Amino acid sequence: MNVLSAVKRMLVGRRLANTQLGETLLPKRIALPVFASDALSSVAYAPDEILITLSLAGMAGFMFSWQVGLAVGVVIAVVVMSYRQTVHAYPSGGGDYEVAKVNLGRHAGLTVASALLVDYVLTVAVSVSAGVINAKAMFPFLEGYEAVTAAVVIALLMIVNLRGVRESGGAFALPTYVFMGSMLSMIGIGLFRIFVLGQDLMSETADLTVVRPDGAEEVAGWALIAILARAFSSGCAALTGVEAISNGVPAFKPPKSRNAARVLAMLGALAITMLLGIITLANLTRVHLIDELTGTHYIDAAGQTIHSAATTVTGQLARVVFMDWFAPGFYVVITATMLILFLAANTAFNGFPALASILAKDAYLPRQLHSRGDRLAFSNGIVALAVSAIVLVLVFNASVTALIQLYVVGVFISFTLGQIGMIRHWTVALRDEDEPAKKSRMKRSRIINIVGASLTGLVLIVVLVSKFTHGAYLALVAMGAMYALMLAISNHYRAVEEEVALTSDSDRALPSRVRSVVLVQRVNLPTAKAIAFARATRPTTLTAVAVAIDDEQVERILDEWEAEDFGIPLKVISSPYREITGPFIKFVSELRTENPRDVVSVYIPEYVVGHWWEQLLHNQTALLIRTRLHFMTGVMVTSVPYQLRSSGARRDRARKATETRVRR
């Protein structure tokens, strides 16, 4: 990399994604949209899920939307306050994973990691599904094809990410601000029209009555409480994405922690405002949202079963607020919602390499994911992420309601473990701290985290109880599988590390001499190069070895060898069964046995080719021999590459595959 391109790289825009571990620093006005998109996008579907779940209690259910929304708002507030402690205490950006690992041990850390990995997949599945459902408001022909459309969108995101296009801050900022602006405008204008102008805005589902699956009008007692609990659990999906800021602290401008905490606060305020605003407006405009897959259905005033095209709360509110006043507003809201949801999915694709890098550093994933050299490994991860999300979307038919059941449990597992970790963090810090002012601040932080842990723990229990049979068990199974896999990888790396550790007992004897052997298959340029390189190392002995598989070939090699006069002897090994590998290995093995204190260096000419099919035609015997020699102690194998003309193109491809790409 020359100076010019290094400078160019530095000047290239803002190369950040949500979970970037700090190359270019963000001012708060860029950081907010970068980190908020993930969190705010979940506000796009949380109200829907609340209402849909409440509809299971019939018309009466909708009356509880206030309370449920408020409860979710409280949780948001508490979680935000708790995370403000985390960003101060762990400015390195490890997030819940680091907090749990450092304070509660590797198993807690691994649990959080498993939950995070599974949630990446669900983020993609849920966000894209929600985006498609919102799109239906503008493109009604998508009806019936939601799952396929979602799968196609995920595939497109996968392709975009495989090409390595990274999101720049600008790509985030605009759609997020438009989303925030249009949603807040929608809420504001809606409330203005109702309360100031006194208009009677009714949503398109206002006149429809919801009939419960079993037909009964109402439900009460434990059944009602169960439904409220489920609605609350679904509504807590609004919290997904809040933790992203704790992962991204190093990306902020100094003072990093304080800026991160401020953005967290802004985010919390925005989320609560938008959530409660939408629910309020939904109540006032009598939005009755159902999902017919849950068994509920609409009947009209005449008692006829009716089918409404209304799909989301946002869609209904935007229509009733804007359509007669300023129609473009409707389209802006829907489009911005769609975009922010797809952006949130894209964030998952970008976040994966960063998370994988952290986990690989701790030896829970293959080590090459820690460094960025191997784009192929990350590509595999991106493909795995996309395929898993597509499978989920197809299996659950892009139903956000169904997917949410899996989504929330992972989020709250990592919240709770993170909070408990923070409690322990403050406890340990208090032991070593003497200054009273600091101590009291720590105690205050600890109280906040205790409240946070209790609340998220309670929510986790509610989520588990209310959603286990509805799909949460699937998420737990997936988390368990990831946990087991990462543990196995970690144990493997530990075992190997022990095996290869340099200890006082290790054999540090230096071999005395080097005996070199050059494999001769034909007398040509690659062989001549191998002999020349081998001679340059001035070994103690240098022997060229050819294996005779038929007489014609041996004659030719001997003639050509004499003509060339390489100055070293050519040993011809007979091979009655026309094998090259066996006799050659035997020769090297005998050389080792005769000279146990020396090291044998085997030189093998290798053709460097341009196309994949050329690989089938060359180097096969060389590969076999190298593989067999690898199992022999005291032997090293040297490839002497000879670059064929066709290899030029592949050289460039190989360089591109191992360099990180940057988009302006």
Residues from 569 through 608 that contact its own copies (CB under 8 A): 575, 577-582, 586, 599, 601, 603, 606-608
Identity of residue 558: L
SS3 call for 120: helix
Candidate list 25, 162, 549, 568; residue touching its own copies; CB under 8 A: 549
Report, in Å, the least distance between residue 622 CB and its own copies. Answer: 10
Cβ 502 to its own copies shortest distance, Å:
6
Is residue 506 within the footprint of its own copies (CB under 8 A)?
yes
Minimum CB distance to its own copies smaller for 110 or for 338: 110
Q: Which of the residues 343 through 402 are near its own copies (CB under 8 A)?
A: 357, 361, 366-368, 370-374, 377
Of residues 645-664, those binding its own copies (CB under 8 A):
645, 647, 650-651, 654-655, 658-660
Using CB under 8 A as the binding rule, whether residue 310 contacts its own copies is answered as: no
Structure tokens at 587: 């020769």
Nearer to its own copies, 109 or 410 (CB): 109
**3-state per-residue secondary structure call for 462-493:** HHHHHHHHHHHHHHHHHHHHHHHHHHHHHHHH
Residue closer to its own copies by CB (options 115, 548) is 548
Q: Is 519 helix (H, G, I), strand (E, B) or coil?
A: strand
70 binds its own copies (CB under 8 A): no
SS3 labels along 424-439: HHHHHHHHHCCCHHHH
| Enclosing H/E stretch for 624 | helix 620-630
Interface pick for its own copies out of 221, 501, 574, 593 (rule CB under 8 A): 501
Under the criterion CB under 8 A, does residue 1 sit at the interface with its own copies? yes
Task: Evaluate whether 352 touches 375 at the Cβ level (below 8 Å).
Answer: no
Region of 87-95, 147-155, 401-409, 524-532 interacting with its own copies (CB under 8 A): 524-532
Q: Which of 550, 593, 612, 664 binds its own copies (CB under 8 A)?
A: 550
Q: Which residues contact 162 (CB under 8 A, 6 or more apart)?
A: 379, 382, 383
- Residue 417: both structure tokens together: 């473990």
State which of residues 77, 209, 451, 614 lies at the interface with its own copies (CB under 8 A). Answer: 614
Rounded to a whole number of angstroms, the minimum distance from the CB of residue 467 to its own copies is 34
Minimum CB separation of residue 501 from its own copies in Å reads 6
Q: What's the min distance (Å) between Cβ of 620 and its own copies? A: 4
Near its own copies by CB under 8 A, which window of 254-262, 308-316, 383-391, 509-517? 509-517
Instruction: Kindly indicate which of the ranges 168-176, 310-318, 461-469, 621-629 contains the residues binding its own copies, using the contact rule CB under 8 A.
Output: 621-629
**What part of residues 111-150 is at the interface with its own copies (CB under 8 A)?**
none
Among 474, 493, 541, 554, binds its own copies (CB under 8 A): 493
| CB atoms inside a 10 Å sphere around CB 401 | 21
The tokens of 501 are what?
A: 């550790």
636 forms bridges with which residues in the sheet?
601
- Residue among 92, 83, 105 at smallest CA distance from 39: 83
Asked if 165 touches its own copies (CB under 8 A), the answer is no
Residue 486 as a binder of its own copies (CB under 8 A): the answer is: no
Q: Could you say whether residue 24 binds its own copies (CB under 8 A)?
A: no
Where does 170-323 show beta strands of DSSP type E? 209-211, 297-299, 305-306
Residue 273 or 490 having the CB closest to its own copies: 490
* Angle CA 465–469–471, to nearest 5: 105
- The reply on whether position 633 binds its own copies by CB under 8 A is yes
Q: How far is the CB of 654 from its own copies (least distance, A)?
A: 6
Under the binding rule (CB under 8 A), the answer on residue 628 touching its own copies is yes
The Cα 103–Cα 422 span in angstroms is: 7
Could you give the 3-state DSSP secondary structure of residue 209?
strand
Residue 618 touches its own copies, criterion: CB under 8 A: yes
Phi and psi for 205 in degrees, rounded to 5? -105, 10
- Let me know how long the chain is: 664
Least distance in angstroms from the C-beta of 542 to its own copies:
12
**What element of type H or E holds 541?**
strand 541-548
| Residues near 324 by beta carbon (within 8 Å), at least 6 away in sequence | none
In the complex with its own copies, which residue's Cβ is closer, 432 or 499? Answer: 499
CB of 537 to its own copies, least distance (A): 5
Of the two residues 470 and 626, which places its CB atom closer to its own copies in the complex?
626
For 406, phi and psi rounded to 5 degrees? -85, -25
* Minimum distance of its own copies from residue 646's CB (angstroms): 9
Unique residue bearing structure tokens 């419960």: 212
Q: Write the CA distances from 115 to 119, 174, 183, integer angstroms.
A: 6, 30, 31
Please tell me whether the peptide bond between 91 and the residue prior to it is cis, using omega within 30 degrees of 0: no
Region near its own copies per CB under 8 A, out of 41-49, 258-266, 320-328, 616-624: 616-624
State yes or no: residue 443 binds its own copies (CB under 8 A): no
Task: Please identify, using beta-carbon distances, which residue of 25 and 549 lies nearer to its own copies.
Answer: 549
Sheet harboring 297-299: ordered strands across?
A: 209-211, 297-299, 305-306
Looking at the Cβ atoms of 433 and 614, the one nearer to its own copies is 614
- Minimum CB–partner distance for residue 4 and its own copies (Å): 14
User: In sequence order, what are the residues at sequence separation of 6 or more whose Cβ sits closer than 8 angstroms to the Cβ of residue 273?
Assistant: 184, 187
